[in-house]
Amino acid sequence: MAFTNAQFSLTDKVAIVTGAGGRGNSIGRAYAFGLSNAGASVVVADINGEGAQRVAGEINANGGKAIGVQVDITDRASVAAMAEAAKQAFGGVDILVNNAALMAELKFGPTISIAPEEWNRVLAVNLTGALNCAQAVVDMMRARGGGKIVNQVSMGAYPATSVYGISKLALVGLTHTLARDLGPDKINVNAIGPGQVKSDAGLFLTPEGGGFEQRYGPQVAMRLRGDPDELVGALMLLVSPAGDWITGQVLNVDGGLIMRA
């Protein structure tokens, strides 16, 4: 069958995006709008329930279909309620984007000195939270004949120099494991590895003119920073029929900052 752009359509699909209702100019918000623009009904999920409702309202005002749901991805009952809300509103789930994470909230320092409670908190959100969400929706995906899961990793995993990087490198491992586990069910599991994004959170951590450019500028093949919307094309490939033969991969969207053979 010849390829056509129709293979990027998400008409009649239902997507959950976690971490999509927090800071205003966020990757999660860009993902939610991108999925909606491709035809999907979107569950905007965030621990900030008001933010989730706000982004869902913006999508609906733009002609899309969305609901906002408050969720704590470390709480399995809360995650189950999110999945049930998707089922009640739209009939099920075809796409899960595990975007929620702790990053800007963290204090970066030597991992050897990290308090156990902080270590556990970061892994609970950035790693176990993704597994909780996948487990909550996988049966609905199986019932619908398959699905797509995309985990948000990071350039911070290469190399992992903090608990944040460790959590994202572990999420790469979870991506590979789930891809093998769920392949027979026609559920693709991949990851996107953003570079330095000009989101509110990204600019909070590395403000322009703060030394980030001097350190990493010479290493990048193209632009060092990108906008949140520049990640959406990668997401569309991984969650649409165009990406049906892609699984277990990390797609780095970073201007060529992270290059590995």
Residues whose CB falls within 8 Å of the CB of residue 69, separated by 6 or more in sequence, listed in order: 43, 44, 45, 46, 49, 52, 81, 82, 85, 86
164 is catalytic: yes
pLDDT at 246: 98
Q: Please check the confidence at residue 202 and state whether its pLDDT lies above 70.
A: no
One-letter amino acid for residue 21 of the chain? G
Look at 113-122, 189-198, 208-217, 222-231 and tell me which has the smallest mean pLDDT: 208-217
Candidate from 18-22, 51-55, 58-62, 155-159 with smallest mean pLDDT? 155-159
Prediction pTM value: 0.95
Structure tokens given for 199: 């989101």
Averaged confidence pLDDT in the chain: 93
Q: What is the pLDDT of residue 260?
A: 64
Mean pLDDT, residues 179-206: 88
Q: Which has the closest alpha carbon to 202: 19, 21, 25, 44?
A: 25
Return the number of other C-beta atoms located less than 10 Å from residue 67's C-beta: 20
The residues pairing with 225 across neighbouring beta strands, listed in sequence order, are 196
Regarding beta strands 250-253 and 196-197, do their DSSP bridges make them parallel or antiparallel, or are they unpaired?
Answer: unpaired
Mean pLDDT within 129-139 = 98
pLDDT score of 230: 96
